[in-house]
Amino acid sequence: MPDAPAVSPASDFSAALLTSFVRLGVHDIVLSPGSRSQALALVAAELESAGAVRLHVRIDERVAGFLALGLAVESRLPALVITTSGTATANLHPAVLEAHHSGVPMILLTADRPTELRGIRSNQTTVQPGMYGEAVRLCEDVPAPVGDAREADAAVELARRALDAALGTVSHEPGPVQLNLAFREPLSSVISLVEERGTSVSKPAARGLGFETLVPRSSTSISIPRGPRTVVIAGHGAGPDAEELAHMGGWPLIAEVSSGARFGRNLIVAYRELLADPQFGGRVERAIVFGHPTLSREIPALLTRDDVEVMVVAPSGAEFYNPGRRVAAAVSAVSIDPDSPAPDDARAWLGSWVLTSRSLREKADAAAGPDHIAPDVDASRSHVPADRIAFARAEFAAVRAAVTRDMLVEALWRFTWPHDRLVFGASRLIRDADRAVPGKKIRVHSNRGLAGIDGTVSTAIGIALASQNSLDGAAAPGVTRVLLGDLALLHDAGALLFGEGEARPNIQVVVGNDGGGTIFDALEVAFTASPAAFDRVMFTPQRADVAALASAYGWGYTKATTHGELDQALSAPAEGPSIVEVSLTR
């Protein structure tokens, strides 16, 4: 039996650092196993036992990174991500980039070799400081602790500095932070945070540290007149301020499905068609942009026109949306000059957009088939038997109708309520939803910072865990639904594995399975490339058994092939995690 390990400065420093984060208000720790990071991992386990944090263990660092992203999106606080050295740290890079471009806080604790083991081809050693480049708000290469009594105070200050940087407290630019922590052997020792160190670790108090509530990066707030002809554009993450401005100004609201502003009477669902119409888009004189538009070509086409004044509302972040580099002003907030008169055609301008959009959607619904047309309720109550029979047949046919993409996105939207969460993958389906679903004030998320398919399930699980379970174990109502394509599911299949004994949230992963990447079918290359080559390297067909995948990871599974089966699966979701597979045609 090996001797008990000697006292380890790595354990002492790790205890001081992690308990400092807890006292500052951090709730969640996500870790992937490894030797060099063992001191951090064992202290995290102690904190979980004390009820001070929620601990999430994942074997895949890429999954861990996106899980932390989802936790922060919902809780508005950064999670700590603990990894060992080497390729483990590189596997966090996709989540770091998404967090950077979306302005989501995250704190990476990457374990590393000490100075004397670097640059000599030591095993599992690479250049970790600066690995994430400009994507991190702070990168500190922390020397290996040696047991100096002053190191505990340094750990307290390091935690405070890292949290401030992640939340953007000073820079007003929330995002990821890397603390690269060198450790020497012995890499850990037996330690009890309460009994041996005399350290009292209590549950963190709510401190209102959420990154969405920070003071804007500048005090630039302007008041604008009601004219000229204006549209308000709400891209991903815009929030309700966009809807409020459109309402106050009497302007059309173009709100993407993950904008957080897709509601209100000024909403224009059929915005693509109207922006492409000279009578509507061609007459726009000013566009006010919130968030990050990513789902259409018509919006950047409008904003690059020389005859359109473009204003961007960007409360935080050094980068802001600026297609064509034509933005006339980037401000932290905007209001309407109450003394400015409304143009004579202001009411007609808004009314024409709203009515035309509504008409276009009604025509699209009619063309989509009977399942998109409201049932003739009067026929069901008719005294004429033939009318009642026709009604029953129509309803029966609608229930048995094969699921289409429009039907799928409409059903997800219909069955999601304010206490639920809806997550879209970067698949074709988010664009289908953006074209069709009406206004509704619900929480919608999608990784649109870089719009990659990676990490969709992991992010959604983080959102589900943070929204449904508090630190004291109290459960909140609601279900998190994820709509994604088959390739996005397979790309993040490792996310289906939960840590032993961990909470398993109510989450429905709804997979539109069309056998490959049909999002590429809409690209010009689909009409010019060799069909065989296009299928091989772009569509990338797959025949994975989704039911077997769900079974392997212990998830529930349902297959919905008809409208009725889909409604049943979504209206009565199973407890815990489950997959709903929906077969779609290419």
Identify the pLDDT of residue 216.
36
Q: Is 514 helix (H, G, I), strand (E, B) or coil?
A: coil
Return the structure tokens found at 51.
Answer: 């009820």
Identify the pLDDT of residue 326.
87
> What are the backbone angles phi and psi of residue 112, rounded to the nearest 5°?
-150, 165
Among 270, 580, 576, 521, which Cα is nearest to 403's?
580
Biggest alpha carbon–alpha carbon distance for the chain? 92
Compute the residue count for the chain: 586
Rounded to whole angstroms, the Cα distance separating 191 from 46 reads: 9
C-alpha distances out from residue 67 to 58, 198, 370, 570, Å: 9, 32, 40, 24
Residue 83 CA, chain-centre distance (Å), reads 22
Rounded to whole angstroms, the Cα distance separating 71 from 106 reads: 10
Residue 476: Cβ-neighbour burial (10 angstroms; 0-12, 13-18, 19+): exposed
CB of 41 closer than 8 Å to CB of 58: no
Among 236, 239, 211, 234, which Cα is nearest to 104's?
211
Residue 307: Cβ-neighbour burial (10 angstroms; 0-12, 13-18, 19+): exposed
Query: The domain 405-583 is classified under which CATH number: 3.40.640.10, 1.20.140.10, 3.40.50.970, 3.30.70.1140?
Result: 3.40.50.970
Query: The domain 9-197 is classified under which CATH number: 3.40.50.970, 1.10.3720.10, 3.10.150.10, 3.40.50.720?
Result: 3.40.50.970
Q: Is 399 helix (H, G, I), strand (E, B) or coil?
A: helix
CB of 404 closer than 8 Å to CB of 584: yes
221-352 falls under which CATH superfamily? TPP-binding domain (3.40.50.1220)
Rounded to whole angstroms, the Cα distance separating 364 from 436 reads: 9
CB of 289 closer than 8 Å to CB of 233: yes
User: Would you say the CATH fold of 405-583 matches that of 221-352?
Assistant: yes
Among 325, 330, 311, which Cα is nearest to 216's?
330
Identify the pLDDT of residue 1.
47
Q: Is 291 helix (H, G, I), strand (E, B) or coil?
A: coil
- At residue 375, what is the residue type? P
Return the structure tokens found at 377.
Answer: 């309720």
Identify the pLDDT of residue 394.
62
Q: Is 101 helix (H, G, I), strand (E, B) or coil?
A: helix
User: What predicted TM-score, i.e. pTM, was given to this entire model?
Assistant: 0.90
Identify the pLDDT of residue 199.
45
Among 487, 482, 429, which Cα is nearest to 458's?
482
> What are the backbone angles phi and psi of residue 559, rounded to the nearest 5°?
-110, 125
Identify the pLDDT of residue 227.
84
Residues of the chain with pLDDT under 70: 1-6, 191-219, 316-318, 369-382, 384, 386-398, 471-474
Q: Where are the domains of the chain?
A: 9-197, 221-352, 405-583
Identify the pLDDT of residue 483.
97
Identify the pLDDT of residue 197.
40
